[in-house]
Amino acid sequence: MDFGDYFRFVLALAFVLALIGVMAWLARRFGLGQPTRLPGSPRRLKIVESLALDARRRLVLVSRDGTEHLLLLGGANEVTVESGIRPPANKDSAPGEPKP
């Protein structure tokens, strides 16, 4: 094999990688592969807060339809620590903190 063969191989590899990148960008741009949601409809699920306990485990507070759930993720399995938590009325301060 001479230098020209190596050069064509590198060009073909660069072309294929660029093509994969363009296709991934287009898929993300047009929302392919994501769950469908009607435009303008409110989001029902969001992560309120997350806290890393150690290298593998994480506490996550998830809100769904106005109710919060505390989840322990990582380790051997995922555990629901507490369910049905009502969010605080005052969003500016966390529970247990004095109000200004």
pLDDT above 60 (res 22): yes
Query: With pLDDT > 70 as the criterion, what percentage of the chain qualifies?
Result: 81
In the numeric block, which tokens belong to residue 83? 């369910």
Distances (CA, A) of 60 to 2, 46, 94: 57, 10, 15
pLDDT above 90 (res 99): no
pLDDT above 50 (res 47): yes
Intra-chain end-to-end CA distance of the chain, in Å: 76
Q: What are phi and psi of 67, to 5 degrees?
A: -120, 135
Whole-number pLDDT of residue 1: 67
Q: Average pLDDT for residues 49-78, to the nearest whole number?
A: 90
54 touches 38 (CB < 8 A) = no
Q: Average pLDDT for residues 44-67, to the nearest whole number?
A: 90
How confident is residue 9, by pLDDT bands cut at 50, 70 and 90? very high
